[in-house]
Amino acid sequence: MYFETLSNMKRFGRINGTRFGGGMRSWRWFLSRVMRLFLRWFRLCPRRGRRKRPSRLQDLWNYGTVLLKSLYFNVLTNSDTVMDCVFEPIYWLVDNMTRWFGVVFVSLVIALTSSIVIIVYLCVLPIIFSSYPVHWILWHLFYGHWNLLMIVFHYYKATTTCPGFPPQEKSDIPTVTICKKCIVPKPARTHHCSICSRCILKMDHHCPWLNNCVGHFNHRYFFSFCLFMTMGCIYCSISAKDMFLDAYNAVESSYQTPPPAFTHQERMVHKSLIYLWVLTSSVSVALGALTLWHAALITRGETSVERHINRKERKRLRMKGKAFRNPYHHGRINNWKIFFGVEKQSDWLTRVLLPSSHLPRGDGLMWDCPAYKNNTVAI
């Protein structure tokens, strides 16, 4: 028993790399340690010809290359597809920024409009009362307050009126396609707004200055606001032209030696008149161009979205030797009557020139098309 135990202990010592009773390492143990160190060093040092692990920048470059090459291996690829892919990050940024800054834009419109109204009451009207004849005073009082009323009314209605949404549940309403975002049927003239994340009936565009979509039920309010705001800015710019020139000359003369003896209140009036004329003139040019653009679209019976779609469709049919006809074009005068909801001659006064909350014609789900255009494709 003793010799058997001693034999097992010697065998155990040799296996663990030591001689029993000697305490010295065997050559096998040293060889094993050297091989382990060599393998560890060999793993840390890259071998010649060994491919390095790609960095994050290299991964992004390869990913972008694959995306770029994929555009050329698609049979449906055209210049519009390429431009959409290039501007996709910009679209995403604009959508998210517009969604969050809509309240800021609305507040800016209210602040700028209020500042103009305050300057008119404090600076312009006193000059008019003191230097204009009676009939011109009455004209400015009547037209100015009427224009202000129309601006305030239509802006409030444009921002608070729901543009109109298609039904989410299944119904018997005729549809033309399925929305890829909402996964619900889309009626004719309905488009998806990426900012509102909903489909809009007769969508024109999403207006950040309203913080709302312009659709079937508030399109008239939006256009009327643009029209009356442009008219008001032109009115202020023309009426305050002489006042602006006098104020500008007074400010320029303050740099003379010695400067004129203007009081603090007079200097504030001069600066306010310059601010009023510059702001109203700039807005009248910019907003006037936008109003003319929408007026041309209304004349043709189109929205901003349909303008681009119909242009592509017109080009596609022209290549096939066919002519495109807008199925929602009822004639220039009739398009304006339908847009404003004019049914009789007196409606031009009560529904266009005076504040009116009447609903537009139709429900935005079904549209009447002229009989001779039933063979066209509804966009």
- Please give the positions annotated as active site: 207
Give the contacts of 101 (CB within 8 A, at least 6 positions apart): 208
By CB atoms closer than 10 A (0-12, 13-18, 19+), residue 267 is: middle
| Start-to-end CA span in the chain (Å) | 101
Question: If DSSP codes are grouped into helix, strand and coil, which group holds residue 223?
Answer: helix
Asked whether the beta carbons of 231 and 149 are under 8 A apart, the reply is: no
Q: Please count the other Cβ atoms lying within 10 Å of the Cβ belonging to residue 38.
A: 10
Give the contacts of 298 (CB within 8 A, at least 6 positions apart): 223, 335, 336, 339
**211-243 as b/e, with b when 16 or more CB fall inside 10 Å?**
bbbbbbbbbbbbbbbbbbbbbbbbbbbebbeeb
- Give the number of residues written for the chain: 379
Asked whether the beta carbons of 102 and 211 are under 8 A apart, the reply is: yes
Q: Give me the amino acid identity at 344.
A: K
Spatial separation of the C-alpha atoms in residues 239 and 128, rounded to whole Å: 10
- Tokens 């003139």 sit on residue: 281
Please give the full DSSP string across 128-192, using - where no structure is assigned: HHHHS-HHHHHHHHHHHHHHHHHHHHHHHHHHHS------SS--S---SEE-TTT-SEE-TT-EE
Q: Extract the runs of DSSP E, i.e. beta strands, from the chain.
A: 177-178, 185-186, 191-193, 198-200, 205-207, 212-214
- Tokens 């266009």 sit on residue: 352
Spatial separation of the C-alpha atoms in residues 370 and 329, rounded to whole Å: 8
Asked whether the beta carbons of 342 and 352 are under 8 A apart, the reply is: yes
